[in-house]
Structure 1
Amino acid sequence: MNFKPKSASIVYYVSDIQRTETFYNETFGLGLERMEGADPFWLQGQLENGLDLIFFEMEGTRGNTPAIVFEVNEGGIDDIVAELADSGVTIVTPVSEAPGGWSADFLDPDGFGLGLWQSGELPRTLKS
């Protein structure tokens, strides 16, 4: 497999986005920004080391949140997910539309949730 992650985000599914915004901005001073494109908005911020924290309001249970999401920087999310599946990796959510692009979820060997996200500006496949 040619995919080598260069960046990652930690994604949390939270029950109350406003409560989360208050806690992380006022208690932790993270300066999360409201991002539009999903209903409701989502929150996003970056730590000094470059790690992104992203919060979506949706049902989440322990074990599927938080999740580490790797960004696909050169395109080809469909190719990467196909290679993962061919390698025996359990695909939880096939490539599907996500805010600003495409995403897919899968499990590591211990059952921990991992994800991929790719900008919609990049090609979904690099194969001709």
Structure 2
Amino acid sequence: MSTAGADRRIDYIEFNVADIAVSKAFYGAAFGWTFTDYGSSYCEFRDGRLSGGFTTLAPVSAAGGPLVILYADDLEETLARIETAGGQIAKPIFPFPGGRRFHFRDPDGYELAVWSSR
């Protein structure tokens, strides 16, 4: 893997999760992420642009930390996919400078957001 152009850029995001299979099912269904398992306690995900991991090696700590924000061309369709996959909407769609967004909680309680310029 090349690291050219990676200096001072977000490279990886890692979530401590209770159950890797549940996280894979949710993010696979809601966003189409792909996965590579590395044993029973670690799984790497790829969203097509960024990679990260799910691990059960530390306790889940969904409160605090930075807000991870994903982009969607169709905000309403993405919200529906998240609900169908088992996510909970924390803040319904609202306007903000530059577009619209909503917040959701994944099965472990992590709050993330999705935005669209449309």
Q: State the TM bucket, normalised to the shorter chain.
A: 0.3 to 0.5
User: Normalization by structure 1: what TM-score?
Assistant: 0.42
TM-score (norm 2): 0.46
